[in-house]
A and B are shown apart, each in its own frame.
Chain A
Amino acid sequence: DAGVIQSPRHEVTEMGQEVTLRCKPISGHDYLFWYRQTMMRGLELLIYFNNNVPIDDSGMPEDRFSAKMPNASFSTLKIQPSEPRDSAVYFCASSPTHDNEQFFGPGTRLTVL
């Protein structure tokens, strides 16, 4: 298995632009998580899905952030409009039902100028 796949690996954009981050979870995993990692705030859970349905989005910082999971093999995290304070590494993780272990992707390093 290729593991969790994220794209792009690096994204540099200007303030005000729309950013879309993509994730392909491990096949057969029912849970998908989006995290943000910064030096100041550590690893923060933004939102997670179970069977493509959002379960908890309480970590989404504001309305500029949105996430979708149209099918079991694909999810997106969108920031519109982006701001410099959104600069961070964004991780996607997946896990199977009945197993707490989360498998993380390699992350997308986002820089908003």
Chain B
Amino acid sequence: QQQVKQSPQSLIVQKGGIPIINCAYENTAFDYFPWYQQFPGKGPALLIAIRPDVSEKKEGRFTISFNKSAKQFSLHIMDSQPGDSATYFCAASFAGGTSYGKLTFGQGTILTVHP
């Protein structure tokens, strides 16, 4: 019940394309869903996050879509750039309670944006 399943494992798009990365979770008690971005040789860094009381959140070119009934959420990158090439991780956790702060990560998606 703690799993977060992420797809695809890798994704290649041309500059300006709109890559979409999908995640599905099992535990309905999760109430915080972040996306992290990781460049080679660096630690992951928070990109954008959403809570289940909204269905969509935008920050710049990055959008999270959230479907609570389907237990799925996705990351869309508008007008993708070569600098967006990185590994993207979805995650889920509890916003409070005894397991506060414990993130369960998806397996990651390696995104390559060609010029």
Contact = CB atoms under 8 A, between A and B. Distances in A.
Contact of B105 (A31, A42, A105, A106): A42
Decide if the interface of chain A is mainly helix, strand, loop or mixed. Answer: strand
A100 B95 contact: yes
A30 to B, nearest CB: 9
Chain A's interface size range is 20 to 34
Interface in B7-64: 32, 34, 41-46, 49
A100 B45 contact: no
B102 A45 contact: yes
B101 interface: yes
Given A43-B89, A56-B99, A101 B46 contact: yes
Contacts of A42: 89, 105-108
A11 to B, nearest CB: 15
Interface of B: 32, 34, 41-46, 49, 89, 93, 95, 98-108
Interface of A: 4, 31, 33, 42-43, 45, 48, 50, 55-56, 91, 93, 95, 100-107
